[in-house]
């Protein structure tokens, strides 16, 4: 039976929920404070996708974009270490986990000793002997890697770079549990899970624009420039949401797809103090991100992804320019969790990015920069410090008709695109499973 659903927050989590619900015949309204839908995706460079990002690929398929994104070339995973060594992790055409195990055996980025320790850990984990410690969510990934025999060189040169790319922060700043689960999903499950793919098209062209068009076709109502300011509750239910212009809206279901620090101010104080579910949101923090985009007058044939050690930026993507790929290319330099970069001037950030680019990509001559964009976000991604896991909420709140979605909720993934999409899908499933 059709239910009415009010979704506040028109980022990818809210829009994914809206799509699933509208496709099942529910009556959906999305409330978004900005002038356009998409939330953080508007700032985002082409995402690094893994085959393991099942919810993302399923959404791309639902939107009929799998034709556009295939054949997608697998992008090699390359490390530039502080010694200047450039090392690729070989993607071997073997079933998983054999491809990862053999790839690790051959990977020159780790010393023989580090590889041996890692492979023997993997073998023991596989056989559950001894079982994995159950305190991994409260331990730092750096300390845990040390405990399984990974040297300082391995942690700095390889694991730290991977942690930044996959989880969004350095090893001491992330929980061992989340890092291990992410590595296992990305490199040890599914025949093709290890493949890294950087789509040649911006996220707006293969995800956002088709998603917005599909919502329009399904009759989803969208209110832009509309800020939710207050939620009202009675007994165990939400009864209405008030907007900044004092409009009051009611529905059968209310779904928050806001960042945590935007959700709490909507709640009456008694709700925040009474329910641990909401109280713990104040324990979640977001970390900064700096992105520099350089449009260059040199063409490249294939997308490159390089993880940098000991430089300002943590990874760089260079891809052919979608429109003029015969002549130009685009470089995205990204640094995660580096508070000290936020106050730097645009000129300084560009200078640092050009420096790192010269180290990362060899070119016969220095390219000319045609266009520059610098993005500085103080709160870009959920910080997944040791212990933070317990504060990430599940979709169902203590109020029977109120659900919570967003990349930062408890999906088992770092707070990335996959997590946002999965959270939206899960909320839609909860609503669709309920009798009205």
Task: Check binding of 41 to ligand FAD (CB under 6 A).
Answer: yes
Q: Which of 174, 208, 231, 291 binds ligand FAD (CB under 6 A)?
A: 291
Closest to 75 measured CA to CA, from 297, 319, 251? 319
Binding part of the chain for ligand FAD, among 205-213, 254-262, 270-278, 319-327 by CB under 6 A, reads 254-262
Q: How far is the CB of 112 from ligand FAD (least distance, A)?
A: 33
Task: Check binding of 33 to ligand FAD (CB under 6 A).
Answer: yes
Q: How far is the CB of 259 from ligand FAD (least distance, A)?
A: 5
- In three-state secondary structure terms, 22 is helix
Q: How far is the CB of 3 from ligand FAD (least distance, A)?
A: 21
- Between the two ends of the chain, the Cα-to-Cα distance in Å is 6
Q: Which of 115, 156, 262, 325 binds ligand FAD (CB under 6 A)?
A: 262
291, 63 contact by CB (below 8 A): no
335, 309 contact by CB (below 8 A): no
Q: What are φ and ψ of residue 34, in 5° steps?
A: -80, 180
Task: Check binding of 221 to ligand FAD (CB under 6 A).
Answer: no
- In three-state secondary structure terms, 427 is helix
Binding part of the chain for ligand FAD, among 2-10, 267-275, 279-287, 365-373 by CB under 6 A, reads 2-10
Closest to 231 measured CA to CA, from 79, 399, 58, 392? 399
Q: How far is the CB of 15 from ligand FAD (least distance, A)?
A: 7
Count, in order, helices (H) and strands (E) of the chain: 16, 17
Residue 427: C-alpha distances to residues 30, 294, 300 (Å): 14, 38, 41
Q: Which of 3, 10, 318, 361 binds ligand FAD (CB under 6 A)?
A: 10
Q: How far is the CB of 30 from ligand FAD (least distance, A)?
A: 9
| CB of 122 or CB of 166, closer to ligand FAD | 166
Two tokens, residue 382: 């959920």
Two tokens, residue 192: 């093709």
Binding part of the chain for ligand FAD, among 66-74, 234-242, 339-347, 415-423 by CB under 6 A, reads 415-423
- In three-state secondary structure terms, 243 is strand
Task: Check binding of 32 to ligand FAD (CB under 6 A).
Answer: yes
- Positions in the binding site for ligand FAD (CB under 6 A): 8-14, 31-34, 39-41, 43-45, 47-48, 227-228, 257-259, 262, 289, 291, 375, 377, 380-381, 406-407, 415-418, 420
């Amino acid at each position: 039976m059709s239910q009415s659903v009010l979704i506040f927050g028109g980022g990818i989590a809210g829009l994914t929920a809206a799509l699933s619900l509208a496709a099942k015949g529910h009556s959906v309204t999305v409330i978004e404070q900005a002038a356009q839908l998409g939330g953080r995706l508007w700032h985002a460079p082409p995402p690094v996708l893994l085959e393991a990002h099942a919810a993302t690929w399923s959404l791309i398929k639902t939107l009929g974009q799998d034709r556009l994104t295939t054949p997608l070339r697998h992008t090699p995973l390359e490390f530039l270490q502080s010694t200047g060594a450039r090392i690729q992790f070989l993607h071997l055409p073997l079933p998983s986990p054999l491809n990862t195990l053999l790839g690790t055996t051959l990977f020159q980025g780790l010393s023989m000793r580090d590889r041996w320790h890692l492979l023997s850990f993997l073998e023991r984990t596989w056989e559950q002997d001894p079982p994995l410690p159950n305190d991994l969510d409260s331990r730092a990934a750096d300390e845990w890697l040390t405990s399984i025999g990974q040297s300082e060189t391995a942690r700095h040169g390889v694991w730290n770079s991977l942690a930044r790319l996959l989880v969004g922060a350095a090893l001491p700043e992330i929980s061992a549990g989340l890092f291990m689960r992410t590595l296992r999903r990305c490199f040890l499950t599914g025949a093709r899970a290890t493949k890294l793919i950087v789509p040649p098209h911006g996220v707006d062209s293969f995800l956002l624009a088709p998603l917005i068009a599909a919502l329009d076709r399904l009759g989803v109502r969208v209110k832009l420039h509309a800020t939710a300011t207050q939620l009202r509750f009675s007994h165990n239910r939400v009864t209405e949401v008030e907007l900044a212009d004092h409009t009051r809206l009611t529905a059968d279901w209310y779904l928050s797809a806001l960042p945590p620090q935007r959700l709490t101010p909507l709640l009456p104080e008694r709700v925040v103090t009474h329910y641990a579910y909401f109280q713990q949101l104040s324990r979640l923090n977001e970390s900064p991100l700096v992105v520099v985009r350089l449009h260059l007058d040199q063409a490249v044939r294939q997308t490159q992804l390089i993880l940098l050690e000991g430089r300002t930026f943590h990874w760089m993507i260079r891809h052919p320019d979608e429109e003029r790929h015969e002549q130009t290319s685009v470089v995205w330099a990204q640094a995660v969790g580096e508070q000290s970069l936020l106050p730097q001037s645009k000129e300084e950030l560009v200078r640092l990015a050009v420096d790192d680019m010269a180290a990362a990509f060899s070119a016969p001559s220095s390219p000319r920069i045609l266009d520059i964009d610098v993005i500085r976000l103080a709160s870009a991604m959920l910080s997944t410090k040791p212990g933070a896991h317990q504060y990430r909420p599940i979709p169902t709140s203590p109020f029977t008709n109120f659900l919570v979605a967003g990349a930062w909720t408890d999906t088992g993934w770092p707070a990335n695109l996959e997590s946002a999409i999965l959270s939206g899908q899960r909320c839609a499933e909860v609503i669709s499973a309920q009798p009205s």
